[in-house]
Structure 1
Amino acid sequence: MFDCGKIAIIGGGSWATAIAKIVIGHTHHIGWYMRRDDSIEEFKRIGHNPNYLTSVHFNTNEIFFSSDINRIVEAYDTLVFVVPSPYLKNHLKKLKTRLRDKFIVTAIKGLVSDDNIACSEYFHEVYDVPEENLACIGGPSHAEEVALERLSYLTIGCSDQEKAQAFADVLDSEFIKTKTSSDVIGIEYSSVLKNVYAIASGICSGLKYGDNFQAVLISNAVQEMSRFLTAINPIERSVYDSVYLGDLLVTGYSKFSRNRTFGTMIGKGYSVKSAQIEMEMIAEGFFGTKCMKEKNRHMHVNMPILDAVYNILYERISPQIEIKLLTDSFR
């Protein structure tokens, strides 16, 4: 039976904090890599992350903090990567310790910049991590609701179902329900696409489109997602499972969705830069839109919503014009 061993969190944001809360409730010890020493010292002093989910308190005696990623990688068996996708490479460049023998779990909802591939693909191709040692976390799971211990459902993807179940057991609790899947690539790409569609939903909200149209938008987004997932990984799956459709719905509609919030600001007339500055948090879908557009240049999947969001964010086409063109393509 596979044992996850000692588990470490790589990243210091809200989702990293929420996952740390879940894991430590089961293991009572984690390693935690954070980039900044001042954040670590403040965390130790006040007993919670000073920057994210500040209502979640920890017994810091159960945490080994380090700003040295190599110390964490050397000392821990399972590494849960929860850094924003645009910064993953910068963190990994510091590594002198091999990852091949580690169990790598990605909770990153974005593609690796420039390479335009999913994080598990990047770990496999660049760091020679075997596919059976790569897993991902997916599903509708706003960090804020996890912090409030509201019932959430997570799916652990891994080609080795025994390893997937072992990590699922670590996360399972009264407020976290888990299941497993072998569709690692599908889960990762759907988690990127749902952010793009949430931006589209926000743009339409900012433009004062109503709930009736939002339902049509999301219905078309599900179909678009299904076409892409079939092209990228043609296996039997139900796109209506919570890890696909559920994650899309919560990201497209929830007040906690930073991607929807970002899109709403764009729809109201904010520039991309001003929206990013005012939010003070990363909307992964902004970067995901560019990565997915580049990816699809080679795959030629029919993706009108992706194209519309890209045109608004990167080609500076008027949201009013672009969304009107999009509405004309819907039925």
Structure 2
Amino acid sequence: MDKHVSNKIGVIGSGSWATAMIKMLTDNQSDKEVYWWVRKDEDIEYIQSYKHNPSYLTAVEIKMPFENISSDVKYIVNNSEIIILNTPAAYLKDALKELTSDDFDGKIIVSAIKGIIPDENQIVGEYLTQTYGIPLENILVVGGPCHAEEVSQEKLSYLTFGCNDLKKAEMVAGFYRSRYINTIISDDILGIEYGAVLKNIYALAGGICHGLGFGDNFQAVLVSNAIREMEYFVETIDSTSRDINASAYLGDLLVTAYSQFSRNRTFGNMIGKGYSVKSAQLEMNMVAEGYYASNCIQGIIARYELDMPICNMVYQILYNNSPAPKEVNTLAKKLS
């Protein structure tokens, strides 16, 4: 870090994953000061009165100084040296719109966002570097497998912290480690971030197939093909040495494809059962990142002329209104 190392950490976002982050950071016994950006003032008032997020992970007790919770993003960022970005990718630009490059100067920025910025078609690390001039060595990404709901129940979970500077990855990981959180360190920032984007698309595919009535045998083959497709994609984008069977890639894919808590699988399941995209979005209270990612990844696939049949199937169903049974049956003939 360009400035002195600090224990002041700011979390940007107030959904379920952000609330889980607040729990992890405040349960950890290391010396630090946590700040939290919550978008709605009425939610802040509720948290201050009842010590719980009114909308997400409502059973989690908020254990932090309430004066450190604010809807003023500049206040949170200016009081923190490590910034955890934890909004849906589609809403990140709006959350940061009041900030400039000067606000981020010398700070470590951690992306806990598993999606792509839609208009720019960029992963978060690329967007931060291009828009705010943040050096890549000051950017970290957080990978799973780790669902917020299980964090709220304090079930043993694992987080992977990726950064070009492993000392910074280790430092930030230390703020999360606890009796129910284990951490892994990696220098594969691009692979972890793109893998997190892709696994949401594959979970959507699994949900669509489940909604259509395909069973566990087919799902196993689908996921087996998905991890190979992911490896093909990330190795084309970035030649960094990685083990695609590691937790941040295969592990995160498995939990997102199979877990009852997976919003992307749930969204896909609704599509498979005949919901329109709009009706599925309206019924869900949380953002399915895979929906936006499908459109963005398709542009990258076209640019590199990649053969990615699972991603293509999801895109055809979601954006070209192609019948799901037709697309899945076409895909089934390509799987091995």
* TM-score normalised according to structure 1 size: 0.97
SS in 1 for 2:84: strand
- Equivalent residue, structure 2, for 1:68: 72
- Equivalent residue, structure 1, for 2:110: 105
Q: Is 1:259 aligned to 2:261, yes or no?
A: no
- Asked whether the 8 Å contact 1:110–1:285 carries over to 2, the reply is yes
Q: Is 1:325 aligned to 2:327, yes or no?
A: no
Q: Is 1:57 aligned to 2:57, yes or no?
A: no
1:145 is aligned with what amino acid? Answer: E
* The one of 90, 93, 96 aligned to 2:94: 90
CA distance in 1 between partners of 2:209 and 2:105 (Å): 44
- Asked whether the 8 Å contact 1:29–1:62 carries over to 2, the reply is no
- Asked whether the 8 Å contact 1:47–1:60 carries over to 2, the reply is no
CA distance in 2 between partners of 1:89 and 1:313 (Å): 24
CA distance in 1 between partners of 2:146 and 2:286 (Å): 17
* The one of 12, 35, 38 aligned to 1:31: 35
SS in 1 for 2:195: helix
Q: Is 1:151 aligned to 2:156, yes or no?
A: yes
- Equivalent residue, structure 1, for 2:305: 300
1:325 is aligned with what amino acid? Answer: T
- Asked whether the 8 Å contact 2:8–2:32 carries over to 1, the reply is no
SS in 2 for 1:180: strand
- Equivalent residue, structure 1, for 2:146: 141
- Equivalent residue, structure 2, for 1:45: 49
2:218 is aligned with what amino acid? Answer: F
- Asked whether the 8 Å contact 1:29–1:63 carries over to 2, the reply is no
CA distance in 1 between partners of 2:314 and 2:209 (Å): 11
> Taking structure 1 as reference, are residues 223 and 301 closer, same or farther at Cα in structure 2, changes over 3 Å only?
same
Identity score, percent: 47
- Asked whether the 8 Å contact 2:112–2:143 carries over to 1, the reply is yes
Q: Residue by residue, what CA displacement relative to the aligned partner does 1:261-320 show, whole Å, maximum 9, x if unpaired?
A: 000010011111111111121111101111111122111221100000000000000000
- Equivalent residue, structure 2, for 1:19: 21
- Asked whether the 8 Å contact 1:4–1:103 carries over to 2, the reply is no
Report how far residue 66 of structure 1 moved.
1.1
CA distance in 2 between partners of 1:205 and 1:229 (Å): 27
1:116 is aligned with what amino acid? Answer: N
- Asked whether the 8 Å contact 2:160–2:183 carries over to 1, the reply is yes
Q: Is 1:216 aligned to 2:221, yes or no?
A: yes
Report how far residue 3 of structure 1 moved.
3.4
SS in 1 for 2:52: coil
Q: List, as ranges, runs of 4+ consecutive aligned residues in structure 1 with deviation greater than 6 Å.
A: none
- Asked whether the 8 Å contact 1:33–1:68 carries over to 2, the reply is yes
More off after superposition, 62-71 vs 249-258? 62-71
1:233 is aligned with what amino acid? Answer: D
CA distance in 1 between partners of 2:5 and 2:155 (Å): 28
CA distance in 2 between partners of 1:63 and 1:124 (Å): 31
More off after superposition, 92-101 vs 47-56? 92-101
Report how far residue 98 of structure 1 moved.
2.5
- Equivalent residue, structure 2, for 1:189: 194
Report how far residue 59 of structure 1 moved.
2.6
Q: How does 1:258-297 map to 2 (within 5 A)?
A: 258-297=263-302
* The one of 155, 163, 168 aligned to 1:163: 168
CA distance in 2 between partners of 1:268 and 1:3 (Å): 51
SS in 1 for 2:333: helix
> Taking structure 1 as reference, are residues 311 and 211 closer, same or farther at Cα in structure 2, changes over 3 Å only?
same
CA distance in 2 between partners of 1:100 and 1:302 (Å): 40
1:275 is aligned with what amino acid? Answer: A
Report how far residue 107 of structure 1 moved.
0.1
2:109 is aligned with what amino acid? Answer: I
Unaligned runs of 5+ in 1: none
> Taking structure 1 as reference, are residues 62 and 35 closer, same or farther at Cα in structure 2, changes over 3 Å only?
closer
Compute the RMSD of aligned alpha carbons. 1.3
> Taking structure 1 as reference, are residues 198 and 63 closer, same or farther at Cα in structure 2, changes over 3 Å only?
farther
CA distance in 2 between partners of 1:78 and 1:199 (Å): 32
* TM-score normalised according to structure 2 size: 0.96
CA distance in 1 between partners of 2:122 and 2:220 (Å): 30
How many equivalent residue pairs? 331
SS in 2 for 1:329: coil
CA distance in 1 between partners of 2:67 and 2:218 (Å): 47
Report how far residue 114 of structure 1 moved.
1.6
CA distance in 2 between partners of 1:117 and 1:61 (Å): 35
